[in-house]
Structure 1
């Protein structure tokens, strides 16, 4: 919409997530308020930001909610089908991506390629005012479907069942027998929903605790898990009970690290009452572009190296294996916010901050999957109050964001996620590449059914992240030689950028020469035997 004082021209440009101008032009407008339609065609997918002003009168696009002034953003979904044929997914459990924040927004979930959501069945949610007030009923149509399934959330004890007299997630309920019987009702309800809405899913998945700030005894923690486990398994033949879901995956901290929490309760028999492990993926607080997941990998202090996300995931997998071999591992939350001290405003975030957020978030989720998690969850849907930038989308209606936003505009992160799901979903993790030089990262995956091999690679250098001027360098790069085929062979592989756009690359003597940047790229090849011989499979990972 324009409001020119006299006849004028609109000068516009469209930039991608790296700041490259991908289209520009002008068009005439009459005086007064009017709406103009501009039609464009693009040969590339991904995120685009449009800028516009009047040639004579100036001006710029206004701020809209959490989106700063000066831009309007849109996304073009990638189509990778010419490079990657559809993977052979025989049951829904093989899918790899979930999300918090878009329950009910079927279109956004489909666009992002998300296949799982978290659904509430906490006692505090279902029976907030007294016992025996909820009875499972016939499943009704809701936001889940045969394409989007459920992780059932169980944490939360209402005041009437709490030893403190207040709603809590830090104490076991006063009556564990009642709690066990309640869980049997949850199991009945969950299995009925599975049969109606997604019978192709083999199991039902439950998360018992959520970042527990546990104030009760260790014995009561395990006793509560025992009640949940026994109740669910008594009614649901497909139950997979998981926990404890601490915010940090590793073993370098105490109660906030999932690996250490498992170690604490292992001697009390927790392994008898879990079928898998859930964690959140917050390798740092806050997880932001300024603190990427690889920051400590090259630190000279070994105790700091343990804080890198890849090291944390390996420590968690090791603890799981010593406790109960070959368990499932899900990361059920990880978001990357804007840099510390940031606030929503007319001039923030910058295009550079948005680029950095997308690069770091994509890398973090790839590390989680590459180090042995079957599933990873994006956080959050749209921007919300209090934690600037965690949203994958701008909220166009509320200046500080809203948990229920519906008028949305994508960030680069959203389009990077949409590309990643289309490339990595329906795969098996082969493992991290062996012999990587410092500051180079790579993980190999293979499409289920013996399909294509996808290798995700990038570089990270603390010296340019950020630069001395406080910006993140999108052009820093390093060369890397990737073996994709047998010695003596030559041919072509496809490279997909972080937005899913393809480029054909030649390889010789089985090796393709790559130029890696801080944004992941995906190399699609065919020789799984060669790749499998050059990776380390995550400890205890048994596939999808």
Structure 2
């Protein structure tokens, strides 16, 4: 009887702040009636509402809108007399039609000047080719396949480097840089006689090294022609090898040696990275475990930077947020918290090869275990938790000393429930490459985070914060403004066995933003890009922290630096 949409030509249903758009509500009432509609934000707070009369039969009415508020909107509508609710659409549950409004933060943050393009800090998996989505989310990096299995599937020496060997998407959108993915062997160069991915060294190592030299030549030509302000080229050799490495330890290092020497023989600007295990630290099969094990066999000689994936939870969140074990009395359990993993990873890196760059090339949040897409899943509370946990993980990664972090995934896809930042409106279980989308709260939280934290250097974790309070300081490139990200987390308010996650829990916190004895104002940016002015006295501003990060923009970098600890080995962007 009733349906609704906020249509856009690009399929995203995301709008610029303070720009006109339309809510389109279609009815097919059996008699004259009245539509009752409202728009709620991530917390369920009503931002707009109204009603209008409709006659019997099929018709569409549009409501013109202009929003100076930014964030996630959930449109609901029903007929006063005849009832009805908005239908389920793909992975989006019934009852809502979602859209987003992007924040306009230039009046607060200004415009950052990048000395080189690779200072950008945010990547994305799942939206290769969807430039509208990438730009809406504030993304500058995607992963480009250059595996031997992709480039030479049928035999050796069938791939010739060329400056034109570039996906037209990248050529048309040079704001999107490439992390070159190198894992994956074709059957003809595999010890198993079939395709393998990061689980065996190549059958013919000299040929593999020759292939890598051609990839280096190709990438160097492409960068010179298409990315004149990009300083380096970035290559990732393996992809979660701990999920199935079945070859010898010596061959793992030999494979990296072949890749490293091949690429560096033709690309003087190469940054060869590994090992990209699923978890960052604190286990033998994590990236730290591989760095220590294979580093002792010479791996440090064959990587220029470390890459890792950033999972911390083994498929148990939002019930298992990245800070869950920070308050555990057992230090062994505390070490599994993502902030502790970051410290351990940077320590292992510093011991192995000082001051290396660190790239997180995948990290994402799913729904709670056991949930499946249905007319009632996800709930509003699940979507709130999904966004809060997802965005906090990426702030911890950057605040702990990573150059770059990568969102996973674009739209919902089959097999794993909820990893998408967008609903797929066409397919009930999601589909790879979906283009008819609407945003989840996480998408709009990401869009705010990228606009606030891209173009910054990490100053580090702010010292002296009480237990359960997480505060990270950043500074805009060129000695610009200070941005401090802050939130609180309480395990008691976040049930690990499933349940309702508190959307109201808060704590007070006093942040030093200026010298003692001074007073003035700072700008607060909430988790979805809405700004307000807060006064400070005696150099300190009183904050009310929630489970969703907020960002404080201030000007005294000397104070910020004196109160923060730069991550070990982090030397800036």
Question: TM tier, shorter chain?
Answer: over 0.9
Q: CA deviation at 1:231?
A: 0.6
CA contact (8 A) 2:424 2:436 kept: yes
The secondary structure found in structure 1 opposite 2:487 is: strand
The secondary structure found in structure 2 opposite 1:222 is: helix
Aligned to 2:191: 163
CA contact (8 A) 1:88 1:447 kept: no
The unaligned stretches of length 5 or more in structure 2 are 1-25
The secondary structure found in structure 1 opposite 2:460 is: strand
Counterpart of 2:360 (choices 321, 324, 331) is: 331
Is 1:224 the equivalent of 2:224? no
Cα distance between partner residues in 2 of 1:471 and 1:321: 41
Aligned to 1:290: 319
Aligned to 1:174: 203
Cα distance between partner residues in 2 of 1:436 and 1:97: 27
Q: CA deviation at 1:158?
A: 1.1
> Matches of residues 400-479 of structure 1 in structure 2 within 5 Å?
400-466=429-495, 470-479=499-508
The secondary structure found in structure 2 opposite 1:219 is: helix
The secondary structure found in structure 1 opposite 2:108 is: coil
Cα distance between partner residues in 2 of 1:489 and 1:278: 43
Cα distance between partner residues in 2 of 1:198 and 1:67: 38
Cα distance between partner residues in 1 of 2:477 and 2:498: 45
CA contact (8 A) 2:319 2:496 kept: no
Structure 2 CA distance for partners of 1:534 and 1:119, relative to 1, 3 Å: same
TM-score, with structure 2 as normaliser:
0.93
The unaligned stretches of length 5 or more in structure 1 are none
Is 1:511 the equivalent of 2:536? no
The secondary structure found in structure 1 opposite 2:467 is: coil
Q: CA deviation at 1:101?
A: 0.3
Counterpart of 2:245 (choices 214, 226, 231) is: 214
Please list every run of at least 4 consecutive aligned residues from structure 1 whose deviation after the TM superposition is greater than 4 angstroms: none
Aligned to 2:169: 143
Q: CA deviation at 1:8?
A: 1.1
Alignment deviations for residues 230-273 of structure 1 (CA, whole Å, 9 cap, x no partner): 1101111111000000000012x112x10111000111111110
Alignment deviations for residues 378-433 of structure 1 (CA, whole Å, 9 cap, x no partner): 00000000111000000000000001101000000000000000000000000001
Is 1:254 the equivalent of 2:280? no
Alignment deviations for residues 490-512 of structure 1 (CA, whole Å, 9 cap, x no partner): 00000000001101000000000
Is 1:527 the equivalent of 2:556? yes
Q: CA deviation at 1:130?
A: 1.3
CA contact (8 A) 1:74 1:410 kept: yes
Cα distance between partner residues in 2 of 1:488 and 1:329: 39
Q: CA deviation at 1:301?
A: 1.2
The secondary structure found in structure 2 opposite 1:414 is: helix
Is 1:536 the equivalent of 2:565? yes
Q: CA deviation at 1:468?
A: 9.0
Q: CA deviation at 1:469?
A: 8.2
> Matches of residues 188-199 of structure 1 in structure 2 within 5 Å?
188-199=217-228
TM-score, with structure 1 as normaliser:
0.98
Aligned residues: 542
State the superposition RMSD in angstroms: 1.1
Q: CA deviation at 1:137?
A: 2.7
Q: CA deviation at 1:287?
A: 5.2
Q: Which moved more, 1:192-201 or 1:531-540?
A: 192-201
CA contact (8 A) 1:467 1:473 kept: no
Cα distance between partner residues in 1 of 2:200 and 2:498: 48
Structure 2 CA distance for partners of 1:274 and 1:469, relative to 1, 3 Å: closer
CA contact (8 A) 2:38 2:76 kept: yes
Aligned to 1:300: 329
